[in-house]
Structure 1
Amino acid sequence: MDFAPIFIFIAAAAATVFAALLVNRLIAPHKPDPIKLTTYECGEEPVGSPWIRFNTRFYVIALIFLIFDVEVLFLFPWAVNLKSLGLFAWIDMAIFITILGVGLAYVWAKKDLEWIKPSMGDIETIQRLEEQNNA
């Protein structure tokens, strides 16, 4: 029974949302138009298909951000309770941070954090030019 006010609040919030949607459905004009269904791009005419392939570097950066964001979520409760948890928790978190650091070093060594990566043809050209300069 201690949670009754919370459940009432959640029910009232849900009822408010559904009431607003219902009022909008009843009052809003429904006039479909082909122009309304087109993609809007900052006042410009859309060019090409909206379905394009994204560069995989976006996903690599997003995953790295997500991993370190989750790490911070684990660090906050650990830091608050560090004194009561003792040495074992400190060692456990040190191992956790070390594993993440090794992963970051691996990604950095593979140069996956560099936004502009040369293609394989460019790498071969650079190596050939370096060999010519060293000879």
Structure 2
Amino acid sequence: MNQATAMFIICMMIPLIVLMAANILAARSTEDREKSSPFECGFDPKNTARIPFSMRFFLLAIIFIVFDIEIVLLMPIPTMFMTSYSPHILITYTLFIIVLIIGLIHEWNEGSLDWSA
């Protein structure tokens, strides 16, 4: 048996062992009294389950997620500059920052960031 086959078998066995151990350790009783109750979260079943939420909060949360992803995209830039300085990296980085600033100005002018209104 060559080394590649042995590594393949090991790479297949380790996840299977972890999955089986997780299933064994996570096994729970299905006859739990609280699991069989219709409302686990404490809501009164006589009232409506739908409650209104603030659309402004939802939009702010979406904006936060978008900017959070953008920060993740900006994180490797200093490492890229340290390893190899290329004008293409600088141009791409500058254009990305310009697009972010334009998006921020648009959201500011639209009023999406104004929480007090």
Aligned ranges 1:116-131 → 2 under 5 Å: 116-117=116-117
Percent identity of paired positions between Structure 1 and Structure 2: 21
Question: CA offsets per residue over residues 71-93 of structure 1, 9 Å max, x none?
Answer: 12211222211241412111111
Quick one: which amino acid aligns to residue 88 of structure 1?
H
Structure 2 spans left out of the alignment, 5+ residues: none
Bigger CA radius of gyration: 1
Unpaired segments of 5 or more residues in structure 1? 118-135
Higher RCO (CA < 8 A, seq sep 6+)? 2
Counterpart in the other structure of 2:92: 92
Q: 1:85 to 1:13 in 2, by over 3 A?
A: farther
1:55 aligns with 2:60: no
What is the TM-score when the length of structure 1 is the normalising length? 0.63
Runs ≥4 residues deviating over 4 A: 2-6
Partner of 1:130: none
1:106 Cα offset (Å): 1.0
Aligned to 2:70: 71
TM-score of the aligned structures, taking structure 2 as reference length: 0.71
Query: 1:49, CA displacement in angstroms?
Result: 2.3
Q: What is the CA–CA distance in structure 2 between the aligned matches of 1:53 and 1:39, rounded to whole Å?
A: 21
Aligned-pair Cα RMSD in Å? 2.8
Distance 2:103 2:57 in 1: 18
Given residue 64 of structure 2, which amino acid in structure 1 is its aligned partner? F
